[in-house]
Structure 1
């Protein structure tokens, strides 16, 4: 049983069905042959499957049978083979498939072969028709941008999200649909809410309530007992017209959900549905120029972004690398979507974009306060969704693009503050949100330390003499000094921290005083030693 077509790339078909429902086991999806049809494996038919087909491995089980079917697909020039999740797949067979250009996919448990066949056939028809009708990016970009928006909202609410039109057709959805229930899977596969659920929602008056106001509506299990997870929905409007809705599958009580985030997502979805994505993409390109060194381009970007008056905050985020964040261009764009969603809850003119491996948000506000507090709150919500170091700049007057207090200066200060957060052992490996002014002293101390260490010839100081002695004699007197100063000059507490006797600690302090010439009874001498150790990053 085969459905033929003019051909479509494999990647959009996987995306259409849902990456959480149809995953890649082996092979290069991007380099795969264009899909020419959908075929079902028949163990009684010895003929090779049609060329460029996606073959559904119905009933294929066991390592030997898997190997035989893979080789049959390779000989026939098939594009991909779909196996049931949990099927035994020898590593050598996976490698053989990948080397021959055959992509191996797995379908999640609970998805029937007939459902998958219909979903893939529908997606193939849609992709090939799209190529003929539009042949270009506008429709594709719109759908992908709505899915990007759904992913941003899903990351914020930790729940699967769909964006639907007035006919309950799915316009976009988040990647985490594996967190949803069987009803949500059915919706994603068919790209439309099943009619039986639509009718039940209509009889319960859900659509009437949903479309009558801009507040979220709860669909609980009392209304829809067949659901495993309740739904929270909010309408999407363009002006006075309702054009769709956003649906979140979540057990979180409605009162505990941030309504401003939902409203911001609905507003953004309305903009995408109503006018496409080109204006948003255009605005994002101006963010990099706004914080760049070209004064004329920065001034033009401020005008284009409508931030050349009033007050502006920069919110600059850098993913925590140890947290396994996606640092690819696509991953950073998604993080920009999440930040944009948070910032538009403060101002509809906010924008966020990936710039140089970081995510940069531009937040225009009416006044520095409470604008600053709201910027920090939005940054904290972002950091809860995306493990990142986030810096909120000092307020900038939109017209002051250059010079002290300008956007370029604020950008430079934010980068220095980010570097300070990355250096600190307390924050290097976890999400953190700081304001530039809170990190300013650490930044200054670091700059002093750089000048101290870069001086040629180096000037000997008590601390440098102690460090040189330790390096030459393999001792650790500098550590004893650090702990002593950190414990505010308490011999008893320092000895406990080092797990030594108090008399041993007193001996070490006398010895290090003799070695480097520091008088630990002198408050000024102790302060200078502490400051130097701090700038040398020994006293963190």
Structure 2
């Protein structure tokens, strides 16, 4: 059964926001556009797009008629979707009401919804939209602009690139080999204002050849619903005609749909992994089953408790997600992570090298406090097997308590390193007083 909620979750909050979804909503079957002035003929489970709805009364009537014919949901843009009369009609009729982002193209939404429905309808299908699709799309875009192309996310990581290499330079080679724009190349493009122009919504950006031999670039932002999802970079020989530049820009909405599908799939996987990891940390889940589903290697792991404080007014969850994104950049693999009790918990192998604790520690130490992202304190429990992760979490919490109480000056610490201070604190607590800073630095004889 394909539910309204699963469709909304898969498309993602960038485009859709469920205002009301009854528990007994019918399974979603198809997408139908409500034509202006036309007869409304629906089948059970249809998603009805109020493309030509003009006012609250018109929208409320569409909701009632859709419910009478067994539709699953009505999709409207603001401000109609949130009008009291429309919401009352949806509640009284028992039909789901979904708000569509104001800047979303109805045509793009129809294509995306049908793609999502096809994927959800086949539970045996790999729901990953497929990096292969993006690579084929990069080839198609390269043909349109007649130049080698890379598709990158907002962190300058390469998601796909075209096969043609007839026009290239060291910067493109290094970008593809490292799967992201090298820092020195990134700095040069940033100094030319490229990323500032991307954020401002320019349709195309031309960067002339540079003194170090970097060839010219034609860059197009990838946007959907007003949100910047990434960019496309074409290596060109020189200035590009208006026709070619426009054709390159016209491909961006198609790429945006693929990136949204990719992100929706990644978010769904992350939510499932986070829930399973919560079960492991709380001692509720089968450790061996969790190890397989979370793709954890058979080696000792540490649980790292991370607390984020401060920031510029964004909510705590947003700060934690932003931190996870930041510490994941440049790390061998994204840490298996979840939120629990207001903290971010990450599980990493206790080893040096890519993806290990030492690399995560370096990333956390390098993530200094800022006005926008706040400050982070982190503590890692002792290493243990998969069945010991709940104990490692408890140790991480204990060590983090020292950092919160400012017993230690560090921002990142392990349970091993904090053991002496923890022992002294426990003894002094039993004696009814808190140790002085000098006493806390005393190491008891072994």
With structure 2 as the length reference, what TM-score do the two structures score? 0.54
Decide whether aligned partners of structure 1 residues 69 and 395 sit closer, same or farther in structure 2, where only a CA change above 3 A counts. Answer: closer
Q: What is the CA–CA distance in structure 2 between the aligned matches of 1:416 and 1:72, rounded to whole Å?
A: 59
1:56 CA displacement:
1.0
Decide whether aligned partners of structure 1 residues 418 and 122 sit closer, same or farther in structure 2, where only a CA change above 3 A counts. Answer: same
Contact 1:336 1:353 in 2 (8 A): no
Aligned to 2:34: 41
1:97 CA displacement:
1.2
Aligned to 1:67: 60
Deviations 1:400-456 (A, max 9, x none): x99xxxx887654422122344556999xxxx9421477667645653564245xxx
1:46 CA displacement:
5.3
The answer as to 2:440 corresponding to 1:447 is no
Equivalent residue for 1:113, pick from 103, 106, 109: 106
Contact 2:381 2:393 in 1 (8 A): no
Equivalent residue for 1:365, pick from 341, 351, 364: 351
For residue 66 of structure 2, give the secondary structure of its aligned residue in structure 1: helix
Q: What is the CA–CA distance in structure 2 between the aligned matches of 1:426 and 1:435, rounded to whole Å?
A: 9
The answer as to 2:366 corresponding to 1:377 is no
Aligned to 1:20: 14
Decide whether aligned partners of structure 1 residues 378 and 84 sit closer, same or farther in structure 2, where only a CA change above 3 A counts. Answer: same
Q: What is the CA–CA distance in structure 2 between the aligned matches of 1:352 and 1:387, rounded to whole Å?
A: 22
Q: What is the CA–CA distance in structure 1 between the aligned matches of 2:4 and 2:32, rounded to whole Å?
A: 14
Equivalent residue for 1:315, pick from 304, 311, 314: 304
Q: What is the CA–CA distance in structure 2 between the aligned matches of 1:422 and 1:101, rounded to whole Å?
A: 49
Q: Where do residues 61-210 of structure 1 align in structure 2 (5 Å cutoff)? A: 61-87=54-80, 89-98=82-91, 100-128=93-121, 130-131=122-123, 134=124, 139-140=126-127, 142=128, 164-165=131-132, 168=135, 195=140, 197-200=141-144, 203-204=147-148, 207=162, 208=165
Q: What is the CA–CA distance in structure 1 between the aligned matches of 2:325 and 2:58, rounded to whole Å?
A: 45
Q: Where do residues 453-532 of structure 1 align in structure 2 (5 Å cutoff)? A: 531=436
Q: What is the CA–CA distance in structure 2 between the aligned matches of 1:227 and 1:354, rounded to whole Å?
A: 31
Contact 1:38 1:55 in 2 (8 A): yes
1:96 CA displacement:
3.9
1:66 CA displacement:
2.0
Contact 1:314 1:362 in 2 (8 A): yes
Higher relative contact order (CA 8 A, sep 6+): 2
The answer as to 2:4 corresponding to 1:10 is yes
Decide whether aligned partners of structure 1 residues 381 and 9 sit closer, same or farther in structure 2, where only a CA change above 3 A counts. Answer: farther
Q: What is the CA–CA distance in structure 2 between the aligned matches of 1:408 and 1:123, rounded to whole Å?
A: 37
Q: What is the CA–CA distance in structure 1 between the aligned matches of 2:119 and 2:4, rounded to whole Å?
A: 13
Aligned to 1:305: 297
For residue 50 of structure 1, give the secondary structure of its aligned residue in structure 2: coil
Unmatched runs of 5 consecutive residues or more in structure 2: 151-161, 195-204, 207-216, 223-227, 234-261, 441-446
Matched length: 332
For residue 203 of structure 1, give the secondary structure of its aligned residue in structure 2: coil
1:376 CA displacement:
2.3
Decide whether aligned partners of structure 1 residues 394 and 359 sit closer, same or farther in structure 2, where only a CA change above 3 A counts. Answer: closer
Contact 1:383 1:390 in 2 (8 A): no
Larger helix fraction of residues = 1
Contact 1:339 1:352 in 2 (8 A): no
The answer as to 2:408 corresponding to 1:435 is no
Contact 2:323 2:373 in 1 (8 A): no
Decide whether aligned partners of structure 1 residues 82 and 355 sit closer, same or farther in structure 2, where only a CA change above 3 A counts. Answer: closer
Q: What is the CA–CA distance in structure 1 between the aligned matches of 2:149 and 2:64, rounded to whole Å?
A: 55
Contact 2:30 2:46 in 1 (8 A): yes
Q: Where do residues 243-282 of structure 1 align in structure 2 (5 Å cutoff)? A: none
1:55 CA displacement:
0.9
1:529 CA displacement:
9.7
Deviations 1:197-246 (A, max 9, x none): 3324652465335686335247973233554777378xxxxxxxxxxxxx
Aligned to 1:417: 399
1:52 CA displacement:
1.9
Aligned to 2:231: 231
Decide whether aligned partners of structure 1 residues 436 and 57 sit closer, same or farther in structure 2, where only a CA change above 3 A counts. Answer: same
Decide whether aligned partners of structure 1 residues 421 and 94 sit closer, same or farther in structure 2, where only a CA change above 3 A counts. Answer: farther
Decide whether aligned partners of structure 1 residues 382 and 78 sit closer, same or farther in structure 2, where only a CA change above 3 A counts. Answer: farther
Contact 2:327 2:363 in 1 (8 A): no
Q: What is the CA–CA distance in structure 2 between the aligned matches of 1:352 and 1:39, rounded to whole Å?
A: 40
Unmatched runs of 5 consecutive residues or more in structure 1: 1-6, 144-162, 170-191, 234-268, 454-527, 536-540
With structure 1 as the length reference, what TM-score do the two structures score? 0.46
Contact 1:62 1:88 in 2 (8 A): no
